[in-house]
Amino acid sequence: MFNSTNSNDFELPLLKASSGRDREIKQFGNKIVEDIIFHHLFLDKDHRSLDIEILNKLDGSTQGRVSANILYYFGIKGVNEYNKAQFKGILKNFSLYQGIEILEKHLNLDYPHKDMLVKIIQHLKSDFERREEEIDVDYIDQVEKETVKLLHSNKRTFVSDEIKTPPAQKTVFNGRENFSRNARIAVEALMEATFKCEVNHLHYTFISKKHRQPYVEAHHLVPMKFQDRFPLASLDTHANVVSLCPNCHRLLHHGIEEEYIEILETLLNQRHSRLIKCGIEIKIEELNMMYSR
């Protein structure tokens, strides 16, 4: 049931032995390799399309051989009963994060060539982290612009704690699907916090030249990438958006568990009752696991 939308029913085709040819891997580098793997597994792109669209072999003379060699190195080859490339589009019904979770589950099964599966997962995780960083930077920029607009309008802000319909997914950044985030909600949360860090109001920051308020960043306490685990409630809600100084924000994204766990506990204790009103019930152990992945 290769293209099931239920990850529990998903069966991954068997990887083949690695071709051992890494010339193209070294030639193009990790970013291109990650794009090739993602577009083949998630976006249903064949070898010829990958050569043209990603490797810029526009005349078609390579006939897909270059991207094929990259995929073959990882054992991603073979055909199904319809004589079609069996890995092409195999994860198209899943988000990148869901796909990584599915592949990781196969590490615990009797699955051949796990060394290659580990490498595929590592490349997809690297791709995911890079895209998350890009999305985060874009979101921060949107929030800054919305802050300027809202402050200049002198409109009243309304912060409500209620269950809201989960946001729809939209395609951003090279075909990756991500749950949409409303910058207005983030600005209202920052204004409610009076532009102070909610870990500690005394944390130093600077004045933004764009809106002349202390510079803080909006952060979803329960990360948006886990929206699928809350099918009846939106994670993009005021109660789940916290105001953080840049240092605390980076710590949550890039710090070690021994340092960020205290921040998580502080923020969850502050927001626990509000999150429940919004249909988001979560314990510190589960939240910590979300950040430790």
Please give the structure tokens belonging to residue 236.
Answer: 């993009």
- At 129, is the pLDDT very low, low, confident or very high (cuts 50, 70, 90)? confident
DSSP state of 12: P
- What confidence score (pLDDT) does residue 255 get? 93
Residues 151-161 pLDDT 10s? 999 877 788 89
Asked if 220 and 140 touch (Cβ cutoff 8 Å), the reply is: no
- 132-139: long-range contacts (C-beta < 8 A, 24 or more apart)? 132/225, 134/173, 135/172, 135/173, 135/178, 136/253, 138/172, 139/181, 139/183, 139/186, 139/218
Residues 2-56 pLDDT 10s? 344 566 678 899 999 999 999 999 999 999 999 999 999 999 999 999 999 999 9
Q: How far apart are the first and last CA of the chain?
A: 27
Q: Which residue has tokens 């319809």?
A: 82
What is the chain's length? 293
Run of H or E residues at 244: strand 241-244
Rounded Cα distance, 184 and 156, in Å: 12
Examine the pLDDT at 80 and tell me if it is beyond 80.
no
Rounded Cα distance, 212 and 148, in Å: 9
Residues 53-79 pLDDT 10s? 999 998 889 999 999 999 999 999 988
- What confidence score (pLDDT) does residue 33 get? 96
- At 181, is the pLDDT very low, low, confident or very high (cuts 50, 70, 90)? very high
Please give the structure tokens belonging to residue 75.
Answer: 């054992």
In angstroms, the Cα distances linking 145 to 16, 182, 185, 194, 248 are: 50, 12, 13, 17, 22
- What confidence score (pLDDT) does residue 3 get? 43
Residues 249-287 pLDDT 10s? 999 999 999 999 999 999 999 999 999 999 999 999 999
- 215 three-state secondary structure: coil
Rounded Cα distance, 220 and 238, in Å: 9
- What confidence score (pLDDT) does residue 172 get? 56
